Amino acid sequence: MIPTKEEMYAALEERHGKELQKKLNDASVAVCGLGGLGSNIAVALARAGVGRLHILDFDKVDISNLNRQQYFAEQLGMSKTDALYDTLKRIAPYCDIRKDCIKLNEDNIPELLADADIIVEAFDKAEQKAMLVNCVLENMPEKYLVSGSGMAGIAPSNMITTKRVTKRFYICGDGVSDVEDGMGLVSSRVLICAGHQAHAVIRIIAGEFDI
pLDDT in tens, 45-86: 999 999 999 999 999 999 999 999 999 999 999 999 999 999
**pLDDT confidence of 199, banded at 50, 70, 90?**
very high
Instruction: Select from 51, 57, 38, 65 the least CA-distant residue to 120.
Output: 38
What would the pLDDT profile of 96-148 be if each residue is shown by its tens digit?
999 999 999 999 999 999 999 999 999 989 999 999 999 999 999 999 999 99
Q: What is the CATH number of domain 19-206?
A: 3.40.50.720
Beta strands in the chain (DSSP E): 28-32, 52-57, 96-101, 118-121, 144-148, 161-166, 169-173
How many degrees, rounded to 5, is the angle at CA 193 between CA 136 and CA 16? 90
Backbone angles phi, psi at 39, to 5 degrees: -65, -40
Would you say the pTM of this structure is higher than 0.85?
yes
Is pLDDT at 38 greater than 70 in this prediction? yes
- Rounded distance between C-alpha atoms, residue 178 and residue 205, angstroms: 30
Mean pLDDT of all residues belonging to the chain: 96
Are 129 and 121 in contact by the 8 Å Cβ rule? The answer is yes
pLDDT of residue 211: 62
Q: What confidence tier does 177 reach under pLDDT thresholds 50, 70, 90?
A: confident
Identity of residue 175: G
Distance in angstroms (rounded) separating the CA atoms of residues 101 and 81: 6
Ranges of each domain in the chain: 19-206
